[in-house]
């Protein structure tokens, strides 16, 4: 079972890093065409998705995930 836990942890790390890369790329592309760096309505939807799946901890996880893609505000 511990082996599976280690696999899951690695998958979370890989997905976290892939998501941060994609998020930065989307932000850069949008800014290059004159748009904003952030889209708060989209970020609110994401926070709500995590909150409804995971409760209060989900909110914190979502905020950390979003920060990983754009750096601290
Ligand atoms: C990646 C995007 O850009 C920013 C980053 C987001 C994210 O990491 O999910 C969401 C909205 C934007 O603030 C996007 O608009 O999808």
Arithmetic mean of pLDDT, 51-73: 92
Q: Which atom of ligand 1 is nearest to the CA of 68?
A: 8
Structure tokens, 55: 């409760």
ipTM, two decimals, is 0.97
Residue 10 CA to ligand 1 center (angstroms) comes to: 23
CATH topology of domain 2-70: Chorismate Mutase Domain, subunit A (1.20.59)
20 within ligand 1 shell (Cβ under 6 A): no
> What are the C-alpha distances in Å from 30 to residues 16, 17, 45, 72?
21, 20, 19, 19
pLDDT digits (tens, 9 = 90+) for 8-27: 999 999 999 999 999 999 99
Taking the C-alpha atoms of residue 59 and residue 47, their distance in angstroms, rounded to an integer, is 6
Residue 20 near residue 68 (C-beta atoms within 8 A) = yes
Residue 62 burial by Cβ neighbours in a 10 Å radius (0-12, 13-18, 19+): buried
Structure tokens, 27: 């932000």
């Amino acid at each position: 079972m511990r082996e599976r836990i280690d696999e899951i942890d690695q998958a979370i790390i890989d997905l976290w890093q892939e998501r941060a890369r994609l998020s930065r790329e989307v932000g850069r592309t949008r800014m290059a065409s004159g748009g904003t760096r952030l889209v708060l309505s989209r970020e609110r939807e994401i926070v709500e998705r995590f909150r409804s799946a995971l409760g209060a901890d989900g909110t914190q996880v979502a905020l950390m995930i979003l920060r990983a893609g754009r750096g601290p505000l």
